[in-house]
A = this chain, B = another copy of it.
Amino acid sequence: MKAAILSIGDELVLGQTVDTNSAWLSARLVEYGIMPAWHLTVADDRAMIADAFRRASSECELVIVSGGLGPTEDDLTRHGLADAMGVGLELHEPSLEHIRGFFTRRNRAMPEINKIQAMMPVGSTVLDNPVGTAPGIRARLGRAEIFITPGVPKEMFHMYERHIRPYIQMLSNTSGGGGRAIITTKVNTFGLGESDIGIKLGDLMDRKRNPTVGTTVSEGLVSIRIRSEFPTRDEALAQLEDTVKQVETRLAPLAFGRDDQRLQDTLLKLLLEHKKTVATAESCTAGLLAKCITDPPGSSSVFVGGWVTYTNDLKHQQLGVPSEVFTTVGAVSQECATAMADGALQRSGADYALSLTGIAGPSGGSADKPVGTVWIALADRTRPTIAMRFVFPGDREMIRDRAAKTAMNMLRLRLMKLD
């Protein structure tokens, strides 16, 4: 089964918006062992959309499309599909009622422009949209089954669950024993670059190996992608898990989680297991660490709170950093980071406190404290406070991101007794 992902929108080809839908949809197909052959993005241009439909439906059996179903005049996906199918549009009354109802429940009349969202290519099937005004469209063209959802990610997610997943599920149940099972996973690591990871993985990365092992860098994390393809699902899964074990053994203690698991998810899990709490004291990251720690639902059981002490005055007043620190070694120093973490530990009543103070840039650097210099301290009720100095590469956003991740990783290693 060959599948393709199509996304439609001027904002995408003009680079005004990053296409996140295609990656999300691909990951869903891969869950069922369907490898997308390609992603294609085209503009809000009726002829180009029609052409993309023709091309996709001549090459693939499954085409999933997002975008261009909105109410405004630049939304032309329905017209492009109708052109490729060689048909016109017709009004779908129940959809019109649904759209009217959407506005009525908000005590408003339906704007006339929304009527276009109830117009469907003749011969297509309407996919109802429980979370927005635009229904989706399903149609058969060439050898392809085509599913179209709105481009708004939230609506796309719902439409996938309601209409597309059941179809793929049905396909994967009926394809039977003749097919091959493909299972993929990712092992996520933090702390080393891609070359070093590649060396540690060595022969596991041989392209002729099955399962295959590849690496990808994203936002400071190196992920090891593993893809296992065997005649049966059981065999594919067993081989996948065997390779995962080998990868994790070669990369311990860098490997912290699988698939979508983030550092903060692992940290929450460890804190819950150990029944410990954490507080934060941030300068350069200014709340990013606290925000990350509280990304996962349930983090209120382990996170007490934190301070964003951007000025020296607040560092002194709120966390008790001695004023001499600023006049002698300065705010970006071991002494300041240590005092911030100690102050946060004491005032919050938490079991651990993490602090960060550094220079996120782009200005403010010097020869001995270049932009990217960050001191990170970890205070612990049962052990002396430690502080470490890092110099992170990149721009302001990257420096702040790496600093927050490094702080979470310090606490992860402490909880695992690996630091």
Contact = CB atoms under 8 A, between A and B. Distances in A.
Interface of A: 9-20, 22-30, 35-44, 48, 52, 70-74, 111, 113-114, 133, 152, 154, 184, 186, 194-195, 198-199, 205-207, 212, 214-218, 223, 225, 227, 280, 282, 285-291, 293-295, 297, 300, 303-311, 313-314, 317-318, 347-349, 361-363, 394, 396-398, 400
A397 B39 CA distance: 26
Contacts of A70: 194, 215
Given A71-B194, A154-B394, 6 more contacts: A13-B37, A38-B43, A74-B212, A74-B214, A297-B362, A307-B318
B38 A42 contact: yes
Nearest to A206: B73
A contact patch SS: mixed
A318 B304 contact: no
Contact of A310 (B39, B41, B195, B304): B304
A365 to B, nearest CB: 12
Contacts of A17: 23, 216, 218
Given A15-B22, A198-B113, A304-B310, A291 B287 contact: yes
Contact of A314 (B14, B16, B38, B304): B304
Given A16-B23, A27-B15, A225-B10, A38 B37 contact: no
A49 B113 CA distance: 43
Contacts of A300: 310-311
Nearest to A13: B36
